[in-house]
A = this chain, B = another copy of it.
Amino acid sequence: MTPDPQPTFVLVRPQMGENIGGAARAMWNFGLERMHIVAPRDGWPSGKAVAMASGAGRLLDQARLFDTTADALADADFVFATTARGRGLTKPIVSPERAMEMAAEKIAQGQKVAVMFGPERAGLENDDIARANAIVTVPVNPEFPSLNLAQCVLLTGYEWRRHSSQIAHERIELAKTEPAPQIEIEKLAEHYEARLEEAGFFFPLTKAPGMKINLRNLWSRMPLTRADVQMLHGILRQLLRGQNTPE
């Protein structure tokens, strides 16, 4: 498969079909057509989404449906999470302009980029955001930060179009390796989480969920290559070898 020429927009647990349709229109206004949908509240397919999408209905026909955020991001090399406010996670926060500049650069290098959008009311959960490499925040009026889903998609799509048509194609030299795709980061995170769970690392129990999110966030924030991921798996296995085999 040839590298994606554009980012995938991932709608995470969208609530109303109309808003999914509105997001499809907003994407197609700027030539974006790759949509992933995670666990839409009112089921899928959605007649209301189709009615709202009108001229952009093809995006809905071709949209891919997933049960979890992790699945929807599996083949992405770099992930943005759109959110209105900081979430207490250590993570770069960029403007839509900078985000789509970065996306255009990464895509020119052959990487796959995904942008997550949260459900209408609550927005993305920290568990979703922890999977992102960077946060995108639209610089809205702090007195009235009320962008809806389709508007957020519209502004991001607009910035994509602004930057994708102007970017000089350049490559970054990666020493005999390439960025780890999201699925590998996910497996690495699971590997560490499982072994650390067994080792009693997540203690006390009341703090365990927060510790797990921090650890997940650590992996996703790091610009890891496939070689890095292999080394980190190897480190974990080797450290545990003494415990699991009789000496």
A residues adjacent to B (C-beta < 8 A): 25-26, 28-31, 54-56, 86-95, 97-98, 135, 138-141, 143-147, 151, 154-155, 158, 161-162, 165, 167-177, 192, 195-196, 199-201, 211, 214-215, 218, 221-223, 225, 227-228, 231-232, 234-236, 238-243
Contact A173 B242 (CB under 8 A): no
Least CB distance, A240 to chain B, in whole angstroms: 6
A215 to B91, alpha carbons, bound, how many Å? 23
Contact B29 A145 (CB under 8 A): yes
A234 to B135, alpha carbons, bound, how many Å? 27
Instruction: Identify which of B31, B95, B144, B218 contacts A228 (C-beta below 8 A).
Output: B218
* Residues of B with C-beta under 8 A to A90: 172-175, 177, 225, 227-228
A162 to B161, alpha carbons, bound, how many Å? 16
Least CB distance, A228 to chain B, in whole angstroms: 5
When all copies of this chain in the complex are counted, the total is 2
Instruction: Identify which of B95, B223, B225, B243 contacts A167 (C-beta below 8 A).
Output: B95
Contact A93 B171 (CB under 8 A): yes
Q: Which of A54, A154, A158, A218 has the most CB of B within 10 A?
A: A158
A167 to B242, alpha carbons, bound, how many Å? 53
Least CB distance, A145 to chain B, in whole angstroms: 7
Contact A144 B199 (CB under 8 A): no
* Residues of B with C-beta under 8 A to A135: 173
Given A93-B173, A222-B222, residue A165 in contact with residue B139 (CB < 8 A) = yes
9 further A-B pairs in the complex, CB-CB below 8 A; given A201-B234, A215-B231, A242-B243: A25-B146, A29-B144, A29-B145, A87-B173, A90-B174, A93-B173, A97-B169, A139-B167, A201-B235
A207 to B138, alpha carbons, bound, how many Å? 48
A94 to B173, alpha carbons, bound, how many Å? 10
Contact B25 A170 (CB under 8 A): no
* Residues of B with C-beta under 8 A to A55: 144, 146
A151 to B147, alpha carbons, bound, how many Å? 11
* Residues of B with C-beta under 8 A to A161: 139-141
